[in-house]
Amino acid sequence: MASLIDYSLLKPSLTFDDIRRMCREAADFGFYAVAVNPCHTALSASSVKGTSVKVCTVISFPFGLSKTELKVVEAVKAVEEGATEIDFVLNISAERSHDFEYVYRDAKAVVEAVKRSREDVIVKAILENAYLTNEEKVRSCQACVTAGVDFVKTSTGYAPGGATIEDVVLMRRTVGQKVGVKAAGGIKDFDTFVRLVEAGANRIGTSHGIEILKDIP
């Protein structure tokens, strides 16, 4: 279970010492990755060096409204500083405006730039489902798959709602088995974790990873 968790270290109030401590926790508990803001990428990479923990940097977080060119610069810089996974937020305004060509171009630009920088870096697109209709979720997922993302992700954790079973089922059905589904937002207990995995999530983003593992019956 621990190996499915991206341990979220995203609160803006976290100090550098908090980041170092939580990176040590991630290694101690065997989490797959730490998810951090761009300014903490290099610090996190040095803090998990010599462990199996990956560094996942969030881009255009949490609103996704940066210009595509800036998302590209931010993502490539994160890779240069040690990120091996990139979670970028799609343009929520474009999604809600049904401009899925924009969504596609936005995603494709990030994917191509990151893969040119380092081919094995995993790229995840965050839809922010709390603001979207089911049709918008499906069409955003389809645009992302065409753009070449490795994962689609439910939420940032900063919207009115987070991961739901229904959304994970819908996203998995839409992307098939070749693209990953990451559930994030409001995941705090073992039961919710298991239900999301059973629904089709193969990565879980949470700041409550330790509590979830301690909650195992």
Two structure tokens written together for 166: 């229904």
Question: Beta strand pairing status for 85-89 and 203-206?
Answer: unpaired
Instruction: Note whether 10 and 35 are within 8 A (CB).
Output: yes
Give the model confidence (pLDDT) of 16-30 as tens digits: 999 999 999 999 999
- Report whether 54 contacts 25 (CB < 8 A): no
Strand, helix or coil at 79?
helix
Instruction: Confirm whether 182 is a catalytic residue.
Output: yes
Query: pLDDT for 111-151, tens place per residue?
Result: 999 999 999 999 999 999 999 999 999 999 999 999 999 99
Q: Where are the domains of the chain?
A: 2-214
CA distance 90 to 111: 12
The top-level CATH class assigned to 2-214 is alpha beta
Tens of pLDDT, residue by residue over 52-104, are 999 999 999 999 999 999 999 999 999 999 999 999 999 999 999 999 999 99
193-204 pLDDT tens trace: 999 999 999 999
Distance, CA of 153 to CA of 123 (rounded, Å) = 10
Structure confidence at residue 172 as a pLDDT band (50, 70, 90): very high
pTM equals 0.97
Are 132 and 140 in contact, with CB atoms under 8 Å apart? yes
Known catalytic residue: 153?
yes
Q: Which of 6, 87, 106, 150 is catalytic?
A: 87
Give yes or no: 87 in active site.
Answer: yes
pLDDT beyond 90 at 217? no
Which residue, 51, 77, 72, is CA-closest to 60?
72
- Given 54, 71, 137, 182, which residue is catalytic? 182
